[in-house]
Structure 1
């Protein structure tokens, strides 16, 4: 365990060039930081209840903000640029998780979880809880998928020809969706397919892919590891609370940083992440 002073942690992202981990502490409305020498602290207060985080192609921090109801980018000089805060003239729900493709397009999920909890009196303006894509050239926000119940974590395969998206609607009651879907991605950023890749025992949330194309997916008090053909090939288990998210990183790149509840954990693994370090 690296840290136990959060409340509900999420969105770990590793900066290999800085040897720095950032993650979200949602109810406390802050982003936290940690370095391998054991130094830690607050990276940003008033994070607008940040949840998922990622890095773009220039190494900048991209963040989903619940109470901001937007996706933002932190520039090199610390300025914050709004990437997306509306679709079709209406506010987003509460962006949850985000990934950045090598072409610069930004993909994020927009369930209403954060709107319920972190935006008192906030009115839902989007009829659906969608997966969105932000065009890298124009900044236009478009719906990538509109048939999810509660879209949550997402991750690209190493070659970016596949996109995995979790549906965590089981949080709202038994019998609701608790699975991961897989889409094929064409050169123009359009998706096809969308079949169920894996049904999960435990709430499916954040995910990452390793360099062999295996999917590491949070699922209750464990992380399930799936081969590219959908076979469950391993688990990292016995966490004391539901895992919310994970990322690869560390000095040698062979650790996973895991968030959940008040905690941040580090686990040595025999794999390395495919995402930008």
Structure 2
């Protein structure tokens, strides 16, 4: 069953949407919007406009748009940690940083084994406070989204920053690791691979990795779902374990068993999304040049 706002592939999707809820356009004017994060205490959304080297801000209370920071070192992904602090992936800074409660910035990680990261892309904070992030090469491939530079690492990998600041490489079997999210119980870590941009034989997919009992390492991964339109970039998981992912034709929703439940069609390529609002039931969507939003019958497991 299809409609103007939804493409329902499985009856379970009907229970995750409001059929009368339309897609709102909150803002337009970006070049490549990315990295949405909802700051619950202030009731506002921030996102990256990477080529324009700026972070934008939308106020939920009055709809006002403002520039949060410019220049911003070509930020990409963001998330909010358990203390409400904004954690950021910087392309040009080639690091993961954090905005402290007093407004200062702390660099959490900028190198591994004495070599600079490629360009940290997306980030998630586990409930124990550890920070997990992906490090593909997009920010150093050209001057459009960062600074063109040679790769110092031996590939494109996924890393973990412990509470003690120790950095470890946790995944090294991906071509271009991109979005990532834990299941609600944090027993699995999902990571998307957008390697097709550089390696034509790399199928666009999300892989699933079991998290070790101590929560610091992951086991051998497996291909979980594949994309039938464009690439999976950023994504989030709701409290029931469903995956809401960006794709070339909108937002795709997958059940915890990997079934494609349905899609929210959008007329631009979607790069990333997050849950927000006071009830965490509004999906904020970065759609190339614009920010869209839609209410769903699901709550984000994290912001």
Which TM class, normalised by the smaller chain length? over 0.9
Could you tell me which residue of structure 2 aligns to residue 270 of structure 1? 297
SS at match of 1:224: strand
* 1:44 aligns with one of 69, 72, 81: 69
* 1:149 aligns with one of 150, 175, 181: 175
* 1:236 aligns with one of 261, 264, 271: 264
Could you tell me which residue of structure 2 aligns to residue 87 of structure 1? 112
* 2:50 aligns with one of 9, 26, 30: 26
Q: Does 1:256 align with 2:283?
A: yes
Q: How does 1:167-206 map to 2 (within 5 A)?
A: 167-172=193-198, 174-186=200-212, 187-201=214-228, 202-206=230-234
Instruction: Point out which structure has higher relative CO (alpha carbons under 8 A, 6+ apart).
Output: 2
In the superposition, relative to structure 1, how do residues 17 and 119 fare at CA in structure 2: closer, same or farther (>3 Å)?
Answer: closer
TM-score, structure 1 normalization: 0.96
Q: Shift of residue 252 of structure 1? A: 3.6
In the superposition, relative to structure 1, how do residues 266 and 119 fare at CA in structure 2: closer, same or farther (>3 Å)?
Answer: closer
Could you tell me which residue of structure 1 aligns to residue 251 of structure 2? 223
CA offsets 1:85-137 (integer angstroms, 9 cap, x no match):
0000000000000000010100000000111133444221011100000011x
Could you tell me which residue of structure 2 aligns to residue 124 of structure 1? 151
**Structure whose alpha-carbon radius of gyration is higher:** 2
TM-score, structure 2 normalization: 0.88
In the superposition, relative to structure 1, how do residues 89 and 102 fare at CA in structure 2: closer, same or farther (>3 Å)?
Answer: same
8 Å CA contact retained: 2:74, 2:146: no
Q: Shift of residue 33 of structure 1? A: 0.4
Q: Does 1:78 align with 2:103?
A: yes
8 Å CA contact retained: 2:73, 2:146: no
8 Å CA contact retained: 2:95, 2:110: yes
8 Å CA contact retained: 2:41, 2:84: no
For residues 204 and 92 of structure 1, what CA distance do their matches in structure 2 show?
A: 22
8 Å CA contact retained: 2:136, 2:176: yes
In the superposition, relative to structure 1, how do residues 97 and 42 fare at CA in structure 2: closer, same or farther (>3 Å)?
Answer: same
Could you tell me which residue of structure 1 aligns to residue 239 of structure 2? 211
In the superposition, relative to structure 1, how do residues 86 and 68 fare at CA in structure 2: closer, same or farther (>3 Å)?
Answer: same
Superposed CA RMSD: 1.2
For residues 119 and 236 of structure 1, what CA distance do their matches in structure 2 show?
A: 31
> How many residues are aligned here?
274
8 Å CA contact retained: 1:219, 1:242: yes
8 Å CA contact retained: 1:171, 1:203: no
8 Å CA contact retained: 2:156, 2:174: yes
Q: Which blocks of at least 5 consecutive residues in structure 2 are unaligned?
A: 1-24
Q: Shift of residue 173 of structure 1? A: 5.4
